[in-house]
Amino acid sequence: MAVGSLVVFIICAVVAVFGAWRMITSHHPVHSALYLVLCFAATAVVYLLLGAPFVAVLQIAVYAGAIMVLFLFVIMYLNLGLARDVLDDRRRRIVVGVAAGALGLLVLMIALFGGGLGQAVKGPMPYRVEDIGVALCGPFALPFEAASVQLLVAMVGVMTIARPELRREADRREAAGR
Amino acid sequence: MTSPIGPALALSAVLFACGVAGVLLRRNILVVYMSIELMLNAANLAFVAFSRLHSALDGQLFVFFSLTVAAAEVAVGLGIVVAVYRKLQSVDVDRVNLLRN
């Protein structure tokens, strides 16, 4: 593996794990959200190293941009104060720490030593971004359309859940029209 | 250009473990959602790493669909959070124990 890409990867990996860890342990939800943005940005650089520029841009635009802004909006909309829930139960902390650590170690060992995945793949990725668009319009056209329907359903569902008065008004209108 | 496959999978595993720990440790429902996002992100990283390993595009396309599912899930989840907060004045998952009313 080239030394340069390895150094960049190690820096990004450390930043990503640091962001994830601080996201869990921060007392304030806004801090958690911002550390998660840091983690996502570092992961986007790893996507670039893995020859996936389209996914890297999606990561920044959709995850760090849209989803985390939505999180911050809801946190500030609800005006949540400090969360005094984390790290206050010592036994639970130890059990969860050991369980999550064992899970991570297990998958890490499989990733590093199982099936000879430890080697690096040489040469450029033989696809470009436009090939993704071609695939989305060709063999993946049906899932692509299904994804759009899913987003529409999610939007309608959120409006129904978050504003029950809309639903009640619709029921009343339907009853009056009958 | 060389790509680190094994280390990327290891990073994916560590991020996933962090997400699991967050879901199990935190009681703030928003932080729980963020941990779920972190786990989805770790799965995406594994998808991209295997896509690179096999020099195939399918993994990146799966990431695209996983991303749309994540976006829809966050929208619905945060809608539920807002509804629950209006009802209970709290975002503690331990207090959300009613199916209706």
Structure tokens at A151: 């987003």
pLDDT band at residue A41 using 50, 70 and 90 as cut-offs: very high
Distance CA B43, CA B38 (A): 9
DSSP string across A85-111 = TTT--HHHHHHHHHHHHHHHHHHHHHH
B61 vs B46: CA distance, rounded Å = 13
- Average pLDDT, rounded, for chain B: 85
Rounded to 5°, the CA angle A33-A36-A42 comes to 150
CA distance A63 to A135: 23
- Please check whether residue B2 touches A, CB under 8 A: yes
pLDDT band at A19 (very low <50, low <70, confident <90, very high): very high
The single residue listed with the structure tokens 């994540």 is B70
Q: What is the mean pLDDT of chain A?
A: 82
> Given a cut of 70, is residue A44 above it in pLDDT?
yes
In 3D space, the residue among A132, A88, A86 whose CA is nearest the CA of residue B30 turns out to be A86
Structure tokens that stand for B9 in this block: 């999978």
- Report whether pLDDT(B51) > 80: yes
CB contact under 8 A, B31 and A83: yes
**Residues of B with CB below 8 A from A80's CB?**
28, 30, 91
Nearest-neighbour CA in chain A from B43: distance (Å): 12
Using alpha carbons only, what angle is made at residue B45 by residues B39 and B50, rounded to the nearest 5 degrees?
Answer: 130
What pairs with residue B3 in β-bridges? A121
Can you say whether residue A87 is alpha, beta or left, with left for phi > 0 and alpha for psi between -120 and 50 degrees? Answer: left
Query: Residues 14..73 of B with a Cβ closer than 8 Å to A: which?
Result: 14-22, 24-28, 30-31, 33-35, 37-38, 41, 44-45, 48-49, 51-53, 55, 57, 60-61, 63-65, 67-73
**More confidently predicted of A145 and A97:** A145
pLDDT level of residue A172 (50, 70, 90 thresholds): confident
In chain A, which residues have their Cβ closer than 8 Å to the Cβ of B4?
A: 1, 5-6, 9, 49-50, 120
Contact A19, A38 (CB under 8 A): yes
Rounded Cα distance, B23 and B29, in Å: 9
User: Between A1 and A143, where is the model more confident?
Assistant: A143
> What distance lies between CA B87 and its chain's CA centroid?
26
Beta bridge partner(s), residue B92: B28
Output the DSSP codes for A62-74. IIIIIIHHHHHHH
Pair of tokens at residue A154: 């999610």
Name every chain B residue with its beta carbon within 8 A of the beta carbon of A108.
Answer: 10, 13-14
- For residue A118, is pLDDT > 60? no
Task: Say which of B2, B28, B30 has its CB closest to residue A120.
Answer: B2
Chain B residues whose CB is inside 8 A of the A153 CB are 72
Residue A14 pLDDT grade (very low, low, confident, very high; cuts 50, 70, 90): very high
pLDDT value at B56 more than 90: no
Residue A67: its chain B contacts at CB < 8 A? 37, 70-71, 74
Which pLDDT band holds residue B44 (cuts at 50, 70, 90)?
very high
Residue-wise pLDDT tens digits, A81-116: 665 555 566 677 777 777 777 877 777 777 666 655
What number is the ipTM of this complex? 0.90
Averaged pLDDT for residues B55-63? 87
Per-residue pLDDT of A146-169, as tens digits, reads 999 999 999 998 888 877 777 677
